[in-house]
Amino acid sequence: MLEYSHQSRSEDEHQEEMESVKTEFINEESENMSDPEPCRMKHTEDTEEQRELMEVKEESEQLSEVEEKHHVKPGEKPLSRSTTKKTFLKKRRAKKSFTCTQCGKSFPNKRNFERHMRAHTGEKPFTCDQCGKSFSRKDNLEVHMTVHTGEKPFTCDQCGKSFRNKSNLDVHMRGHTGEKPHSCDQCGKSFKQKPHLSRHMKIHTGEKPHSCDQCGKSFAQSSHLKIHMRIHTGEKTFTCDHCGKSFLRASNLKTHLVVHTKEKPHSCSVCGKSFSLLYSLQVHQKIHNDVREYMCFECEKSFTTASNLKLHQRIHTGEKRYKCSHCDKRFNQSSYLKTHERIHSREKPQISAD
C-alpha cells in the first residue's frame, strides 16, 4: 500500500514538472516575440507574429507528446525538468533546420532564415516614419531612429564621448587600447577598422576603380578622385586667412601656413640656407647635386623641378596666361607680370605751378 502511494505521488510530481516545462517554454517563446519598444515602423510583422504563434502552438503540442512518451512507469525514476526541456529543444532544433538555397547557410528557425533571405532579395520591410529610409532588419531601424532623436546611449568610459550604437563605440575604444585586429596578409600592416584594410589592399592589387571622366586618370579611392576633379573645375576650397591664397587640398593649405609663421626649420647642410618647407629644401639641394631630372623635349634643356619645366615650356607654346589689368599686356609667368605692374603703380612726379 505504501509502495503504491509512493508511485502515485511520483507520477503526480512528474506530471506537474511536465506542465511547468510546457508553460515555461510557451512563456519564453512569447517573451522572445514581444517588442518592448514602441512601434516606430510600418506594421509589416503582423503576419510574421501570427505565424510564430502557430509555431508556438505546434511546439506546445509536440511538448505534450514528449510528456506522454516520458510518462513515469512504476519503478522508473522521473526525468528532471531541465533534462526534459534540453532534450526536447535539441531534437526540435535538429528537426527544424532551414538552409538557404543561395549560399548554403543554415538557420535553426524560420524567422532567422527569412531575415537572412532579405540579404539576397533586397527586401527592406522596416521603414522609418521620419525620413522614409528602409531597412532589412528591425534592430537596424531602431539604431537609425537615434539619428532623429539624437540619442547616444553608448558612452566611452575613457574620454566620455558618446555613440549611437555599440559597434561605433567598440571601434572608438581601439583608439585607447591601440588594438588593430585587421591585418594585411601581404605586408602585415594592421588596421583598427575593416574598411581601412580593404582600402589598403588596393595598393597590393593595383585596383583603381574610380576613373576621371575628363582625362581618364584612375584612383584607388573615390575621395582621391573627388580631389583630382578640382583640377578640372578649378575649385580651390581651402583659403589662407592671412593672404587669401587658395588650395585644392587642406594639407596644401597647412603646408602653406608655415610661410606666415616666418619659421624656417629646414637648413641646407652645404650652404646653410634655410627653408620653411622640407620640400623646398629638397628642391634646393638638387642645385648642389646638379640633379636635373626634368628635361624639355623641344630643346633638351633640363630643370630641377617639374614646375620650372612647365614654366619653360610656355616659351615654346607661346602661352601667356598672365594679363595686365592696366594695359592688357600679357606674360608667361606671374613674376613677370608683377614686375611689370610696378610701372603702373609708380607715382608720377607732381609738376609745380610756378
CA separation for the pair 258, 274 (Å, rounded): 13
Give pLDDT, residue 41: 40
CA separation for the pair 303, 309 (Å, rounded): 6
CA separation for the pair 286, 267 (Å, rounded): 14
Q: What is the pLDDT of residues 251-305, one digit of tens each?
A: 888 888 888 887 888 899 989 998 888 888 888 888 888 878 888 888 888 888 8
Unique residue bearing C-alpha cell 628635361: 295
Q: pLDDT exceeding 90 applies to what percent of the chain?
A: 5
Give pLDDT, residue 84: 57
**What pTM did the predictor assign?**
0.36
Q: Is residue 225 within 8 Å of residue 210, measured between CB atoms? A: yes
CA separation for the pair 323, 333 (Å, rounded): 10
Q: How far is CA 42 from CA 103, 132, 156, 179, 264, in A?
A: 29, 10, 33, 40, 64
Q: What is the pLDDT of residues 131-146, one digit of tens each?
A: 999 988 888 888 888 8
Give pLDDT, residue 128: 92
- Tell me the CB-side half-sphere exposure of residue 128, using CA atoms within 13 A: 17
R_g (Cα) of the chain, nearest Å: 38
| Residue numbers in the chain where pLDDT is lower than 50 | 1-10, 14, 18, 21-45, 72-73, 76-77, 79, 81, 348-354
Domains and CATH numbers, the chain: 94-151 (3.30.160.60), 210-256 (3.30.160.60), 266-343 (3.30.160.60)
Give pLDDT, residue 33: 41
The torsion angles phi and psi of 319, rounded to 5 degrees, stand at -70, 130
